[in-house]
Amino acid sequence: MTPKIIVTRRWPEQVETILQQHYDCEFNTADTPLSSAQLSDALTRADAVLSTVTDKFDADVLNVDNHQTKIIANFGVGFSHIDINAAKAKKITVTNTPDVLSDCTADLAMTLLLMAARRAGEGERELRAGDWSGWRPTHMMGSKVTGKKLGIIGYGRIGRAMAHKAHHGFSMDIVVHNRSAVPAAALATVNATQLPTIEAVLAESDFVSLHCPGGDENKHLISQKRLSNMKPGSFLINTARGEVVDENALINALENGPIAGAGLDVFDNEPNIDKRFSGLPNAVLLPHLGSATTETRNDMGLRVISNLNEFFAGKKPADSVT
């Protein structure tokens, strides 16, 4: 029997075509997010559900009678939208798509860093509005990036890709915080120093980029207290998950200091972001574009297919997180 799969959102055409060749597919041609009831229903009708970050598989959604689903194969590396313990209780395997998006997500973090430091969003808005009065020595001065210190919170694959680009491309000094000890070789390639506390990283970094997982364990890791201890004039970059930062405290810090700006690709309660962000000129705001390149989105889809193929061949998928 060909396994039945439900794909919760539209995927790149090339990947949907391959899926169709191997599986009995139900696609979401409308590409609107599924409700909790629709997600639960999918679990009763498909052998595999192919999810994304917009599908909140909490304990209530997962706790359905007569579930048929044996694997939730997630399109994305982050999986804090899936209650892993509830999935395990139902004996559902969960997989993600690491590696293939590390470079593009780090590229986007670097984009945000440069935009925030060099006031690129502000400049573009001024120009498009017809308000540019011409070149002058004091016009829209930003902060220099080359040679500054970058603090990285979470030194996994994406954090390391970011360090590589910042150090080798922009001669930045790198300090990192990571829950476990980082192998010396992984620090040496970018001449990085691992510091014992987040506070130490925040106190000395000109830029801080977040690359840790989301979820309850890191909720408001960047708290009001930690924001208030960031280096005056520094910048916070978040391409991880919205919940990692206390957004109320961040808005206050963007209005009153000590930080000079922020570059944000992720938010609490996406896509309904806190409206106060839009009024802050020193915030660069992007709509969760970290992995959004054609190459990477295709690779993410292929990685899901490889996980599915392994699972239905009776093997443990390489990217199982359960």
Active site residues: 241, 270, 288
User: Taking CB under 6 A as the criterion, which residues in 91-110 touch ligand DGY?
Assistant: 101
Helix-helix angle 102-118:294-312, to 10 degrees: 150
Give yes or no for a contact between 300 and 102, defined as CB atoms under 8 angstroms apart: no
Using the contact rule CB under 6 A, the part of the chain among 11-19, 73-81, 141-149, 161-169 near ligand DGY is 73-81
Tell me if 42 contacts ligand DGY by CB under 6 A: no
Please compute, for residue 276, the number of CA atoms within 13 A of its CA located in the half-sphere on the CB side: 10
Nearer to ligand DGY, 15 or 253 (CB): 15
Considering only 11, 61, 78, 160, the residue that binds ligand DGY (CB under 6 A) is 78
Please compute, for residue 248, the number of CA atoms within 13 A of its CA located in the half-sphere on the CB side: 3
Tell me if 262 contacts ligand DGY by CB under 6 A: no
Give yes or no for a contact between 206 and 235, defined as CB atoms under 8 angstroms apart: yes
Tell me if 76 contacts ligand DGY by CB under 6 A: yes
Give yes or no for a contact between 109 and 166, defined as CB atoms under 8 angstroms apart: no
Tell me if 154 contacts ligand DGY by CB under 6 A: no
Considering only 159, 242, 290, 301, the residue that binds ligand DGY (CB under 6 A) is 290
Tell me if 73 contacts ligand DGY by CB under 6 A: no
Instruction: State how far the Cα of 211 lies from the Cα of 303, in Å rounded to an integer.
Output: 21
CB of 322 to ligand DGY, least distance (A): 17
Tell me if 77 contacts ligand DGY by CB under 6 A: yes
CB of 79 to ligand DGY, least distance (A): 8
Instruction: State how far the Cα of 207 lies from the Cα of 115, in Å rounded to an integer.
Output: 12
Tell me if 291 contacts ligand DGY by CB under 6 A: yes
Quick one: tokens of 262? 């922020």
∠ CA 296-301-307, nearest 5°, is 125
> Which residues of this chain interact with ligand DGY, rule CB under 6 A?
53, 76-78, 101, 290-291
